[in-house]
A and B are shown apart, each in its own frame.
Chain A
Amino acid sequence: MSGFLQYLHYGYQTLLSESLSHVLIVVVAMLVSFVVAAMLGLLAYRRAWLAEPLLSITSTALTLPSLALFGLMIPIFGLGFVPTLIVLVIYAVMPILRNLITGLNSISPAILEAATGIGMTRTRRLFVVEVPLAWPIIVTGLRFSSMMVVGVAAVGAYVGGPGLGATLFNGLAEVGSRSAVPEVLSATIMILLIAIALDGLFWLISRLTVSPGIR
């Protein structure tokens, strides 16, 4: 225990800066993923036949081992921020897209008919009726996706990515040394804290943005 406190005393700065870059890459990955998923989702909305193949690709992609995916990035994008981001986006897009498509498909046909019947254009209907109604499911997708990305981002250290993965891998590489356990433990705790904070953030977002009529 005293070893752990001692480690924190000397290593807290590293820990904090790694946490910060961890959060940063997660946030960037989530933003990019949201945009990508929204575009793919819109495409699937306009071309209904695309929804099915997109959904099966997304669920298959989730079964890929992240370590393998990171390894594949090295020959193409080298090391560092970019390959990490790309892998994170590949993972994060899946749940978001999945929930986006599911959410939009789950709206009652009567509501859609009413919206068209009173004279909404297709675009207006999408943004005034469909997205708000699918929003709780979409936010759930974002929330789930962000949890996953916080974890996968740690593996990004394997290709030299930013974040708490560096300390984690460090500790794992020197098992038996005095600093191994404190390193692994502190990095894991920080990852958990980040995940909890993000989860809370999405809970808040959902409270604030989901209409009380469908909560």
Chain B
Amino acid sequence: MALDLSPQEASNIGTELQPRRSVIELRDVSKHYKDAGAPIVDRLTLSISEGEFVALTGPSGCGKTTTLKMINRLIEPSSGQIIINGQDVGDLPSHRLRQGIGYVIQNVGLFPHMTIADNVAAVPRLLGWKKDRMTPRIDELLSMVGLEPSIYRDRYPRELSGGQAQRVGVARALAADPPILLMDEPFAAVDPITRTSLQDEFLRLQQSIRKTIVFVTHDMAEAMRLADRVVIFGPQSKIAQVGAPTEVLSAPADAFVASMLGSGRLMQLLSCVRLRDVSLDRWPTLAQGLEGDERLAALSSAKIEGKNRVLVLDEAKRPLYWIYSDATGESSKVEVDCKLELDATSLRDAITQIVYCSHDCAVVVDGDGAFQGIINIQGIRRSLAPLAGAGTSAANIGVDK
């Protein structure tokens, strides 16, 4: 990644480079149908690591759904090999293979004649679970996807909204705790507002369950928002680009990928990059309780750096307020009105906050509220410059030519 990295972050990336166990491996996989000339999937090789969230995306007919369905053998590949946990998928009876892989589809496909509880219990029942193990698991899963078990357990699918049905679809896929989850356009059939909240919830859920996920979507923005790695299928069923969302957004491999990303690229990039990924600016600080000379000294050394205020921190390094010095040497307190969290805030959110904040910069804190640095518009531009690629200014990368 072409981002400015602190030494600590760089060492994190070092550990990430350790080869993680590959869970799903596609080796030279092709699929062609007799009546069609060109193959729908053409010699695809892809390795997916444990706990990784991979999105397959591209225009319709590019082979992304076919690829997904070859993993659980709903479609048999014409040639090539698919390996899951070191075992060829063809070695198992297909229904056994599928019982070990969670599957969520666009139209949800809940069984309308079964209650919500029975729908969720479908796979455990196939695996022969006992009732005393099944009932608590159903309640656990319903709570996990945000549906109160006592209300929804005995309802039927037709009594649910689209968003609720999709939650049940996710719960059903997770019921037997499969290590792998295949999702085929799972959020495409719901309205945009529900979709966003489902995506957020699903990301939060994934934080705790850490499944290996293969996710098909035609919506580039969705892929960028959710996945750790994005596989973009191009024309002629070839892979056009594979990479982390920030990599793809900052350096599209070719004109095709750039056109798929569209003109909202800069905003998408800003949404993908979090404050923890960029270098923050320092700012003079002052411990709470220091008065008189020490305060004056801090203010004057700040002035030498060209800064008209210092940030006062409490003993846990939490920002309290600004102290300004004016021309007469008097100082005044001003509340900190813009505090951003290092891990949770994207650059896009940061820009919005900074625009409304009264100090043209935002104070950045970590999860415990301790001061980490400040970020302002110049800082954001600076961190975007390497992302924008050689010879392009940050302001230009979103513009199609």
Contact check, A114 vs B103: say whether CB atoms are below 8 A apart. Answer: yes
The interface residues of chain B lying within 8 Å CB-to-CB of A212 are 156
Contact with A along B102-142 (1 / 0, CB 8 A): 01011111111111000000110010000000000000000
Q: Is B353 an interface residue (CB 8 A)?
A: no
- Complex Cα distance A202/B192, Å? 45
Contact check, B74 vs A118: say whether CB atoms are below 8 A apart. Answer: no
Contact check, B74 vs A117: say whether CB atoms are below 8 A apart. Answer: yes
- Complex Cα distance A111/B113, Å? 11
Contact check, B105 vs A115: say whether CB atoms are below 8 A apart. Answer: no
The interface residues of chain B lying within 8 Å CB-to-CB of A121 are 95
Q: Which of A119, A132, A214 has the most C-beta atoms of chain B within 10 angstroms of its own C-beta?
A: A119
Tally of contact residues, B, Cβ under 8 A: 28
Q: Is A106 an interface residue (CB 8 A)?
A: no
- Given A119-B98, A121-B95, A124-B126, answer yes or no on A213-B107 (Cβ-Cβ < 8 Å): no
Contact with A along B352-394 (1 / 0, CB 8 A): 0000000000000000000000000000000000000000000
The interface residues of chain A lying within 8 Å CB-to-CB of B172 are 118
Contact check, B114 vs A213: say whether CB atoms are below 8 A apart. Answer: yes
Q: Is A21 an interface residue (CB 8 A)?
A: no
- Given A213-B115, A213-B156, answer yes or no on A119-B110 (Cβ-Cβ < 8 Å): no
Contact check, B95 vs A120: say whether CB atoms are below 8 A apart. Answer: yes
- Complex Cα distance A133/B114, Å? 10
Closest partner residue, chain A, to B69 (CB atom): A117
Classify the interface of chain A: helix, strand, loop or mixed.
helix
Q: Determine how close the nearest CB of chain B comes to the CB of A10; give it in whole angstroms.
A: 53
Closest partner residue, chain B, to A129 (CB atom): B111
Q: Is A108 an interface residue (CB 8 A)?
A: yes
Q: Determine how close the nearest CB of chain A comes to the CB of B324; give it in whole angstroms.
A: 63
Q: Is A14 an interface residue (CB 8 A)?
A: no
Q: Which of B72, B106, B111, B172 has the most C-beta atoms of chain A within 10 angstroms of its own C-beta?
A: B111
Q: Is B158 an interface residue (CB 8 A)?
A: yes
The interface residues of chain A lying within 8 Å CB-to-CB of B105 are 110, 113-114, 117
- Given A108-B107, A213-B157, answer yes or no on A119-B112 (Cβ-Cβ < 8 Å): no
Q: Is B96 an interface residue (CB 8 A)?
A: yes
List which A97-137 residues lie within 8 A (CB) of chain B. 108, 110-111, 113-121, 124, 129, 132-133
- Residue of A117, A118, A211 touching B113 (CB-CB under 8 A): A211
A-B contact count (CB 8 A): 74
The interface residues of chain B lying within 8 Å CB-to-CB of A117 are 72, 74, 98, 103, 105, 109
- Complex Cα distance A114/B170, Å? 12
Closest partner residue, chain B, to A110 (CB atom): B107
The interface residues of chain B lying within 8 Å CB-to-CB of A124 are 126
The interface residues of chain B lying within 8 Å CB-to-CB of A214 are 112-113, 156, 158
Q: Determine how close the nearest CB of chain A comes to the CB of B89; give it in whole angstroms.
A: 13
Contact check, A119 vs B114: say whether CB atoms are below 8 A apart. Answer: no
Contact check, A132 vs B113: say whether CB atoms are below 8 A apart. Answer: yes
Contact check, A120 vs B126: say whether CB atoms are below 8 A apart. Answer: yes
Contact check, B74 vs A211: say whether CB atoms are below 8 A apart. Answer: no
- Residue of B111, B115, B126 touching A111 (CB-CB under 8 A): B111
The interface residues of chain B lying within 8 Å CB-to-CB of A115 are 109, 111
Q: Determine how close the nearest CB of chain B comes to the CB of A85; give it in whole angstroms.
A: 34
The interface residues of chain B lying within 8 Å CB-to-CB of A111 are 109-112
- Residue of B74, B96, B97, B108 touching A110 (CB-CB under 8 A): B108
Contact check, B74 vs A116: say whether CB atoms are below 8 A apart. Answer: yes
- Complex Cα distance A118/B126, Å? 9
Q: Is B99 an interface residue (CB 8 A)?
A: yes
Contact with A along B60-96 (1 / 0, CB 8 A): 0000000000001010000000000000000000011
The interface residues of chain B lying within 8 Å CB-to-CB of A211 are 112-114, 156
Q: Determine how close the nearest CB of chain A comes to the CB of B189; give it in whole angstroms.
A: 10
Closest partner residue, chain B, to A122 (CB atom): B95
- Complex Cα distance A116/B96, Å? 11
- Given A108-B107, A213-B156, answer yes or no on A119-B113 (Cβ-Cβ < 8 Å): no
- Residue of A113, A118, A120, A213 touching B112 (CB-CB under 8 A): A213
Given known contacts A117-B109, A119-B96, what 7 new A-B pairs fall within 8 Å (CB)? A110-B107, A114-B109, A116-B98, A117-B72, A118-B103, A211-B114, A214-B158
A-B contact pairs, 6 of them (CB 8 A): A110-B106, A113-B105, A116-B98, A118-B172, A119-B126, A214-B112
A contact set with B: CB distance below 8 Å: 108, 110-111, 113-121, 124, 129, 132-133, 211-214
